[in-house]
Structure 1
Amino acid sequence: MQAQTLGRPDGLPLPQRYWAILTIALGVTMAVLDGAIANVALPAIARDLHASPAASIWVVNAYQLSITVSLLAFAALGDIVGYRRVYRAGLVVFTVTSGLCALSDSLATLTAARVLQGLGAAGVMSVNTALIRTIYPKAYLGRGLAINSFLVAFSSAAGPTLASAILSFASWPWLFAVNLPVGLVAALLAFRALPDNAHRAEQRFDVPSALLNAATFGLLIFAVDGFGHGQSPLVVGGLLAALLAVGTVFVRRQLRLAVPLLPIDLLRIPLFGLSICTSICSFTAQALALVSLPFFLQGMLGRSQVETGLLMTPWPLAIMFVAPFAGRLVEKYSPGLLGGLGLAMLAAGLALLATLPAAPDNVDIAWRMALCGAGFGLFQSPNNFALLSSAPAQRSGGASGMLGTARLIGQTGGAALVALLFNVFPANGSHVALLVAASCAAIAAAVSCLRIANTGVHAIAN
């Protein structure tokens, strides 16, 4: 019999726990993969839909933008109506709109379908870690979060490789069509296996806050992207001015709310705030590396496209092996210490890649990639554990949404920094990007270590 805490079960009994985590795994993997899988197909999409390469980028941007502007709103909705309801709805929307993406016959219809698909993905990603907190007993929460961390990191890194494999024997619509059978299975499981909230928030959903949140993060992304791609200073300045005005109104409204949509109350918790900062810096470093590495390997080291894909494979493979161990280690050791060690390994791996000789062996490249992946795998699970466990149980939705938002902010900022560095350093921008990535990882390691002194690291708030 499951242990009881305050009259509620501590996690799900077996085998329901296995079915529930499988549901989470399928949904999260699809949602994260579709953020990266379309990049490889952009040339083919532009050609088949008679669009310019610049316009085709909206196939990627529309999806990421849709997730970012709605993630916190769906997380807050999960606190009110239940995490499983939001997750189920997200799965259904994501699966149906994947079919619409596959059937699109113009760039406009594909972009519109990607916006809707992003909303479905946001529903899945906004509450996935909150559900894991309900699925797993407190003593094993680190293991559940390790599975989630592994899926997010591995899917992000393996997306281009998987896309290349599919495109080697099928056309680009199949990148989206493959979601249909997987999404159907995940949706059926979600209606049978997922648990309901142990706590429900009593406030109503704040529609003005949701609209202000969307406007704030939308303006932030457009401003960062415009800066990175060298848009007119007048345009970027206008976006920043609008961001300042709308963001000020948004934050002031949140400060007046007992349970804000933007979890300012959680950010006041030192462990939570430090974990968010660590997450943003680490995902910025990862995005800087993963976007610039293909250019570095092909442009500066003379590797082919196929060789580049193979040489980057040790990164996700190392995550696959290390992440489960990190989930168990966090049950005994400080998340701040484990995260700091992992990020130091990531920083070292990136610095070693940036300082490769002019004609390195493939083995020299591969073990450095593996070091980066191992470091990131060691960091992510403990960081997510510290972030989620420092929030009260009734605010798990807000914590889950903030975790996803921090990842997206880091990834967006990292990609924009690569574009900026390529413009400023046209001859060796990829090399400089790797050095900047190593610096970001080192900063994240230092921030992570600040959490070691926090008391109650292993205590999960109720």
Structure 2
Amino acid sequence: MIGVLISAVDGTIVVLALPVIEEDLHITLSAVTWVVVGYLLAVTVLSTQLGRFGDMFGRVRMYKTGFLVFIIGSILCALAWNAPSIIGFRLVQGAGAALIAANSSAIISELYPPKERGRAFGYNALGFSFGSVIGVLLGGLMVTYVPWQWIFWINVPIGAVALLLAQRVLRDQGERQRRRFDFLGMITLGLGLFGILWAMTGLASRPLDGVLAGYLAGGIVLLVVFGFIEVRHPDPTLDLSLFRIPTMTPSLLASLLQGVGSFAVLFLVIMYLQGTRGMDPIDASMLLVPGYLLGAVVGPYAGRLTDRVGPVIPATLGLGVSVAAMAIFAQMTATSDLWLAAVGNLVIMIGGSLFFPANTAAVMGAAPPERLGIASGVLRTFSSIGMVFSFTTAILVASHAIPRNLAFAIFVGTSRLDGRLAVVFAESLRAAFYALMGIMILAAVFSAIRGTRRNKG
């Protein structure tokens, strides 16, 4: 729970601090987004391989190493002096987060019998929601009253406590597996995703040109090459044999699409509240706190429901609730009541708290015991891929309706809209929420299908 909590705290605090970081380090608006994207990219690329490290060298050992790396990365971020340094140090932080995330689900699966895993993953969902609340509250106070570096210093004592507790209570139990490293697969996956994300982020700040087209095409080609490498490698970064398990593929696709559909919501709603409604970043974030609190309450109950009825119903229900949230968000206009944003966030947090424990339990329950670390890493990778593309999609949606530089300024909270631009921006967000609704519906279809496939198997 502390591992999930520290990740959630870091995520929300950093978003609130982006305007101050941009001003203090004198970095461009497009570069400041890589403070978020770079972290997510590191988690995405490294999770599968670091989950494999857990199978090879001990999951608890890698989990504790993750806290150590995360603490070091946080200290380095607090000492950053320019754009390359803070983006680079965020990559270090992301490596630590990947070690934590890729091994935590595997450790839970080892410690708890199948009939109790849903409850355990439900408490993890509670940790995420509670961490998000702490991030908003601490972030607002820190950005207002102390230097921005403290948003990273705060990770040090939290991480140290988690490391000490892990050292005291966790022990490796599973047998270690000898596997080869897939360095070429990691490199092609990382560079492929980087090329596509660099092009998408660039499109939000300037028109399509030869350079951006080259990054996009190169990224796609590298991902195709990655696929060929994985088919032939004896121990691939992305273990394709897992997809032969009947319930695994729909569960992972549901996770990816849920990430695409939901992660952008926070940024789109924050941009709406700041840009269209003229709220300060801290006030906009505080409006969303009740949703996080309700999500924290729902998580453990959703986990217990998963233990009783299986993962299909809670996960699919959670995605259906998220569809309803998109419909609520789509009603927001330049003059609508602010309670729509608060209620929409309440509903989507309920949906997420229903989905995450059930979907995680489904993936880890289907994975062979000797490949729990790999399965945990693959799940995190699919979820992170969805989050990464969701984030850049949110920026692209915003920049389609208003000038690109203004979209970035609204995102980081340094500018606002008025008059006709506010109306146009709100209308573009409505279209975006309907598109995200379609993605969530597709995720719900995959979630429901896995029940049928399991029964047939």
Separation in 1 of the partners of 2:84 and 2:333? 46
Separation in 1 of the partners of 2:34 and 2:201? 12
Q: Which residue matches 1:124?
A: 100
Say whether 1:325 aligns with 2:301.
yes
Alignment CA distance shift 1:329-1:60 (3 Å): same
Q: How does 1:51-200 map to 2 (within 5 A)?
A: 51-152=27-128, 155=131, 159-200=135-176
Q: For residue 435 of structure 1, what is the amino acid of its counterpart?
A: Y
Residues 30-58 of structure 1, C-alpha deviations (whole Å, 9 max, x = no match): 23432342222122122222333333333
Q: How does 1:197-212 map to 2 (within 5 A)?
A: 197-212=173-188
- Shifted more, 219-228 versus 324-333: the winner is 219-228
Question: Offset at 1:320?
Answer: 0.6
Question: Offset at 1:361?
Answer: 4.5
Question: Offset at 1:129?
Answer: 0.7
Q: Which residue matches 2:435?
A: 436
Q: Which residue matches 1:402?
A: 378
Question: Offset at 1:389?
Answer: 0.9
- Is this contact kept in 2: 1:289–1:433, CA < 8 A? no
Identity %: 30
Alignment CA distance shift 1:158-1:372 (3 Å): farther
- Shifted more, 214-223 versus 154-163: the winner is 154-163
- Shifted more, 188-197 versus 399-408: the winner is 188-197
Question: Offset at 1:407?
Answer: 1.7
Separation in 1 of the partners of 2:242 and 2:379? 12
- Is this contact kept in 2: 1:68–1:217, CA < 8 A? no
Separation in 2 of the partners of 1:58 and 1:415? 11
- Shifted more, 183-192 versus 126-135: the winner is 183-192
Alignment CA distance shift 1:177-1:279 (3 Å): same
- Shifted more, 277-286 versus 211-220: the winner is 211-220
Say whether 1:247 aligns with 2:226.
no
SS at match of 1:346: helix
Q: Which residue matches 1:286?
A: 262
SS at match of 1:270: coil
1:385 to 361, 367, 370: 361
Question: Offset at 1:28?
Answer: 2.7
SS at match of 1:196: coil
Residues 291-310 of structure 1, C-alpha deviations (whole Å, 9 max, x = no match): 11122234445655554223
Q: For residue 432 of structure 1, what is the amino acid of its counterpart?
A: A
Alignment CA distance shift 1:237-1:305 (3 Å): closer
- Shifted more, 54-63 versus 137-146: the winner is 54-63
Separation in 1 of the partners of 2:247 and 2:308? 18
SS at match of 1:434: helix
Q: How does 1:307-322 map to 2 (within 5 A)?
A: 307-322=283-298
Q: For residue 167 of structure 2, what is the amino acid of its counterpart?
A: F
| Unaligned residue ranges in structure 2 (runs of 5+) | 403-423
- Is this contact kept in 1: 2:68–2:163, CA < 8 A? yes
Residues 149-196 of structure 1, C-alpha deviations (whole Å, 9 max, x = no match): 333455457644542232232210100111111111212222222221
2:318 to 334, 342, 347: 342
Question: Offset at 1:141?
Answer: 0.9
Q: Which is richer in helix?
A: 2
Alignment CA distance shift 1:418-1:56 (3 Å): closer
TM-score (norm 2): 0.87
Question: Offset at 1:360?
Answer: 4.5
Question: Offset at 1:142?
Answer: 0.9
- Is this contact kept in 1: 2:30–2:201, CA < 8 A? no
Q: For residue 370 of structure 1, what is the amino acid of its counterpart?
A: L
Q: Which residue matches 2:410?
A: none
2:401 to 401, 406, 425: 425
- Shifted more, 408-417 versus 219-228: the winner is 219-228
Q: Which residue matches 1:7?
A: none
Higher RCO (C-alpha 8 Å, min separation 6): 2
Question: Offset at 1:286?
Answer: 1.3
TM-score (norm 1): 0.86
Q: Which residue matches 2:405?
A: none
Separation in 2 of the partners of 1:225 and 1:120? 24
Say whether 1:256 aligns with 2:232.
yes
- Shifted more, 397-406 versus 55-64: the winner is 55-64
Cα RMSD between the aligned structures? 2.6
Separation in 1 of the partners of 2:220 and 2:132? 31
